Structure 1
């Protein structure tokens, strides 16, 4: 949630009028995340989150907002898009498509326990079930084809050691076939900073659905494991929480070591893109790609089985 596109108070006030939220009191940029421009917006009706989408096509934006609306109505703690009197969930603002969503309570955690991982695992499985059968679902925008294309394009830009690792991993991933695994719409970016917890330790919000798409559910579990699980106990708790809602099949267990590598590769590539092809913005978050390079190397050297 960086700020690439500035928004003036007067133009925002005009944009808000069809939503009937009363007087605009304040708006402030949010310096987190990497892809879109985000602001906290306070009106006479309360606090909201405004997102300006920097690179999304209308069809993709329609899907992401419809997904959040579906999940929110299904009882999951995710942002609810606000629609105007004509049912529009987004409209142009400052030259970009923009949407206003409910602002959820709570804060992200820096330090997580196995107990947190179990809760997140169960929530992820609930999300998969709630989004199952989503009409006109888009494919995972950073799926296998994206990883091959972006990885190949970055080979000339990275160091020799990185290029050797990247080329070898791309060749390995090209041999994997996960088309037979259970699949549906996945979040694809459920990092710790996209999950909120209230003052009582309850999970109160799931954020940032703008990498969501259809893919193997196991890929989503691997994304979460790679960020949340620092040890075997945390991983066992995550898998136990997930399995309490949806049982993992044997084919998923067989695919797990390679899937964790694919998830690490995806975020290494995303951060390499930001490092080597930066975009201009007022407040831009740059995250270190080396964290996921090291994680990928560890999974290549010491693959581990999915806990039972």
Structure 2
């Protein structure tokens, strides 16, 4: 998350009071981190009680694309999955225009991120990810993952001029392998549905329930669904594993975290034989996706307040590690 479009309290006070039933806006401040949208914590006061929300102004996604993400969150929340619930205005709308750009308000989840997760945290994430996949089976809307193979094919030529010879060889060879994989019958056979596609540690909250002991954490919820899409569930799982289950060297898989997440996921939804066979290539696909996007954001950045570009070599190392499996 970042701030590309600054917002002051005076910009929204009247809008919030007139269009919504969430009280009076009393505070708004930008959220640091991330690279896609302008995000703000929004506090309101209703009936003497403070309420907390997140306001997002969408910088890249169009108003035509956004209903998928917002309706998916509402669908999952209504099925008991802990995700932000989009807030309706008095006309029943959940997508608005603010400063000439699409915008939405969602509920703020409880808790904090655990950037150094223990095996227990990985298990909680794996179990809820499987529940989320199953809860999304009857979601009626579909939309492709906008950062999948087609995007890699368009973006890699833009970043290649910035790479070393070894990096060029790695990225082109991996893209060719993934093109072959994506066009295979094995890939077609993989189950799919609504997927988060970006379930990193900073997109999950844990509720400590008033104790400093992280072993008592309960899952607060998943958020930031704005990379979601209709994709292979195995890809969603691979993205999650590549971030949550890293060893201390930050590239290999840690056996304890990995086993905890995979066991918990499969306690809810067992992987098919086709998924098991495709797992090594899908781990590589997930690593390639984020190496490409971080190269793009690093070498072709946009101006933004509080923008924090990520180190692209992190996922280069992860890809090399997954290719060695």
Relative to structure 1, is the Cα distance of residues 160 and 15 closer, same or farther in structure 2, using a 3 angstrom cutoff?
farther
The equivalent position to 2:292 in structure 1, one of 266, 269, 286, is 269
List runs of 5+ in structure 1 lacking aligned partners.
304-308
TM-score (norm 1): 0.95
Give 1:225 shift. 0.5
**CA offset digits 1:255-288 (Å, max 9, x no partner):** 0111000000000111101111100111112111
Give 1:160 shift. 2.4
- Tell me the residue number matched to 1:183: 192
Distance between the aligned counterparts of 2:196 and 2:303, measured in 1?
27
**CA offset digits 1:212-236 (Å, max 9, x no partner):** 0011100011001100002112111
Distance between the aligned counterparts of 2:15 and 2:293, measured in 1?
32
**CA offset digits 1:129-167 (Å, max 9, x no partner):** 111132121011111222222123322232322211111
Give aligned pairs, total.
302
- Tell me the residue number matched to 2:12: 12
- Tell me the residue number matched to 1:306: none
- Tell me the residue number matched to 1:120: 125
**CA offset digits 1:155-210 (Å, max 9, x no partner):** 22323222111111111111103121011111000011111001140001211000
Distance between the aligned counterparts of 2:277 and 2:152, measured in 1?
21
The answer to whether the 8 A contact 1:155-1:167 is kept is no
The equivalent position to 1:236 in structure 2, one of 246, 259, 263, is 259
Question: Which range moved further: 131-140 or 255-264?
Answer: 131-140
SS of residue matched to 2:308:
coil
Question: Which range moved further: 257-266 or 148-157?
Answer: 148-157
TM-score (norm 2): 0.90
Q: Is residue 199 from structure 1 mapped to residue 189 from structure 2 by the alignment?
A: no
Give 1:59 shift. 2.3
Q: Is residue 256 from structure 1 mapped to residue 256 from structure 2 by the alignment?
A: no
List runs of 5+ in structure 2 lacking aligned partners.
210-216, 247-253
- Tell me the residue number matched to 2:224: 208
Give 1:21 shift. 2.2
Give 1:85 shift. 1.5
- Tell me the residue number matched to 2:64: 59
Distance between the aligned counterparts of 1:59 and 1:136, measured in 2?
13
Give 1:86 shift. 1.0
Distance between the aligned counterparts of 1:266 and 1:259, measured in 2?
10
SS of residue matched to 2:220:
strand
The answer to whether the 8 A contact 2:5-2:38 is kept is yes
Question: Which range moved further: 108-117 or 257-266?
Answer: 108-117
Distance between the aligned counterparts of 2:15 and 2:300, measured in 1?
32
Q: Which runs of 4+ in 1 moved over 6 A?
A: none
Distance between the aligned counterparts of 1:122 and 1:138, measured in 2?
24
Distance between the aligned counterparts of 1:42 and 1:10, measured in 2?
13
The equivalent position to 1:84 in structure 2, one of 89, 102, 115, is 89
The answer to whether the 8 A contact 1:6-1:94 is kept is no
What is the RMSD of the two structures over their aligned residues, measured on CA atoms? 1.1
- Tell me the residue number matched to 1:71: 76
- Tell me the residue number matched to 2:169: 164
- Tell me the residue number matched to 1:42: 43
Question: Which range moved further: 151-160 or 271-280?
Answer: 151-160
The answer to whether the 8 A contact 1:15-1:93 is kept is no
Q: Is residue 25 from structure 1 mapped to residue 26 from structure 2 by the alignment?
A: yes
